[in-house]
Amino acid sequence: MKVRFAGFGLAAPAILGVLCLLFVSGPTAQNRPDTGKADAKPTPRLANGHPDFSGFYRGANAGEGIPGEQLLTKADDGSIFYAYGGATVALEGSVQDAIARDKNPPPYKPEYQAKADELVKYAYGPRDNKMDPALHCKPDGVVRTPIDNMYVVQNADSVGVMFEKAPGTYFRIIYTDGRQHPKNLDTSFYGDSIGHWDGDTLVVDTVGLNDETWLGGISNRSIHSDQMHVVERWTRLGNTIQVEMTVEDPVMFTRPWVLAPRHINIGPADDYIQPIPCVDVTSAHTMVNSPADTFKCNWCNTDTLYGGTENKLSAPLRTGRGGGE
Tell me whether residue 320 is in a domain: no
Tell me whether residue 295 is in a domain: no
Tell me whether residue 80 is in a domain: yes
The boundaries of the domain holding residue 252 are 13-266
3-state secondary structure string across the chain: CCCCCCCCCCCCHHHHHHHCEEEECHHHHHCCCCCCCHHHCCCCECCCCCECCCEEEEEECHHHCCCCCEEEEECCCCCEEEECCCCCCCCCCCHHHHHHHCCCCCCECHHHHHHHHHHHHHEECCCEECCCHHHHCCCCHHHHCCCCCEEEEECCCEEEEEECCCCCCEEEEEECCCCCCCCCCCCECCCEEEEEEECCEEEEEEECECCCCCCCCCCCCCCCCCCCEEEEEEEEECCEEEEEEEEECCCCECCCEEEEEEEEEECCCCCCCCCCCCCCCCHHHCCCCCCCCEEEECCCCHHHHHCCHHHCCCCEEEECHHHCC
Computed over every residue of the chain, the mean pLDDT equals 76
Tell me whether residue 299 is in a domain: no
Provide the pLDDT for residue 143: 94
Tell me whether residue 324 is in a domain: no
Domain total in the chain: 1
Tell me whether residue 322 is in a domain: no
Q: Which of 60-74, 163-177, 281-295 is predicted least confidently?
A: 60-74
Q: Name the percent of the chain lying above pLDDT 70.
A: 66
Provide the pLDDT for residue 151: 94
Q: Which of 27-31, 90-94, 155-159 is predicted least confidently?
A: 27-31
Instruction: Give the global pTM.
Output: 0.72
User: Where does the pLDDT of residue 11 fall: very low under 50, low under 70, confident under 90, or very high at 90 and above?
Assistant: very low
Give per-residue pLDDT as tens, 136-147: 888 999 999 878
Tell me whether residue 142 is in a domain: yes
**Mean per-residue pLDDT for 32-47?**
67
Tell me whether residue 96 is in a domain: yes
Provide the pLDDT for residue 276: 82
